[in-house]
Amino acid sequence: MCLLKVEDVYKSYGDFMVLRGISFQLEKGEIKVIIGPSGTGKSTLLRCLNGLTSPDKGKIWIDGVEVTDPKTNINKIRSNIGFVFQSFNLFAHLTALDNVCIGLVKVKGMKKSEARLLAMEELRRVGLEDKAGAYPAELSGGQQQRVSIARALAMNPKLILFDEPTSALDPELIGEVLNVMIDLAKGGMTMLVVSHEIGFCRAVADEILFLDEGKIIEKGHPSVLLTNPSYKRTKEFLHKIIELYGEERD
C-alpha cells in the first residue's frame, strides 16, 4: 500500500485558486521531487499534506489514515511526518540539541535524558554534534537547516516533506544540506521534496512532478523529464532553472 495518497486536491486563497486538482501517490522508500515556477502552489501543497493548511476539496491519506478527515488527530499524524522549511524555523530560544529534543519530550513524552541521547545521535548524523550547545542565531544557514533536518529525523518520521530546503542558503552552503539529504535518500527514507536542485534530482529522485498553475503538468523519471520533456511549458521552465542554478552542482 502506498504511504501517501493525494486525490484531487483543490485550494484557494480568496479568489486565487492555488491548487486545481492535484493527485499523486508516494510509495514507502520513494523519493519524489516537485518542481515548478513560484506561486504555483508547491508550498501550499506540502502544507496541505500535514494539515498545516486544509484543502477546500479532495482527500489525502498518510499510511492509510485520512489527513483531511476532521475527526483525525492531526497532531498525531504530524508527529510522524517530518517537515523541513525553507527558512529553517528553528526554535530561536533553544540550543541545537534542545531543538532536536523538544518534540521527543513534549510530543512523544520521552524522558529528557533519553531524548538528549537520541537527539545527539541525530546531530551526529547531520555532522553537527560539536554544535549541540549553540543557539540557532549562532549557526550558519546551512548548519541551521541541518539541525532542522535532525529535528525532523528525531521524531522517527514515516515521511519527510522538504519545502525548498536550500533556497534560502548562500550557494556555498547548499552542498552540505544536499549531502545530508542524499545520505537520507540512500538510507531508504521516504521523501517529498520541493527543490530546483537538478543535481539532487538526478542523483536520488524516482520521479519529478512538474507543477504549474496549480496542476501537475508532467511527471516522469529524471532521466526522461530533465532531458526530454513532452510539454513546451516544462521545457521552458527547465531552461530557466538551468540558467539560474546550473546543470549540476557536484
Q: For binding to other proteins (CB under 8 A), which residues are involved? A: 50, 52, 75-81, 83, 85-93, 102-103, 106-107, 134-139, 144, 148, 151-152, 155, 168
User: If DSSP codes are grouped into helix, strand and coil, which group holds residue 24?
Assistant: strand
Q: How far is the CB of 61 from other proteins (least distance, A)?
A: 18
Nearest CA to 249 among 199, 202, 204, 196? Answer: 199
Least distance between other proteins and beta carbon 172 (Å): 18
- State the minimum distance, in angstroms, from the CB of residue 54 to other proteins: 13
What lies within 8 Å, CB to CB, of 69 at 6+ separation is none
Is 29 or 133 the residue whose CB approaches other proteins more closely?
A: 133
Please, which residue, 168 or 224, has the CB nearer to other proteins? 168
Output the nine-digit C-alpha cell for 178: 544536499
Name the minimum Å distance from CB 146 to other proteins: 14
Return the number of other C-beta atoms located less than 10 Å from residue 245's C-beta.
Answer: 17
Smallest distance from the beta carbon of 228 to other proteins, in angstroms?
Answer: 37
Nearer to other proteins, 92 or 232 (CB): 92
d(CA 119, CA 214): 38
Nearer to other proteins, 40 or 143 (CB): 143
Our CA angle for 37, 39, 44, nearest 5°, is: 115
Query: Nine-digit cell at 19?
Result: 491548487
Cα separation of 6 and 45, whole Å? 10
Nearer to other proteins, 86 or 206 (CB): 86
Taking the least distance from each CB to other proteins, the nearer of 25 and 86 is 86
Q: At its nearest, how many Å lie between other proteins and the CB of residue 108? A: 8
Q: Which residues of 80-101 are buried (b: 16+ CB within 10 A; e: fewer)?
A: ebbbbbbebebeeeebbbbbbb
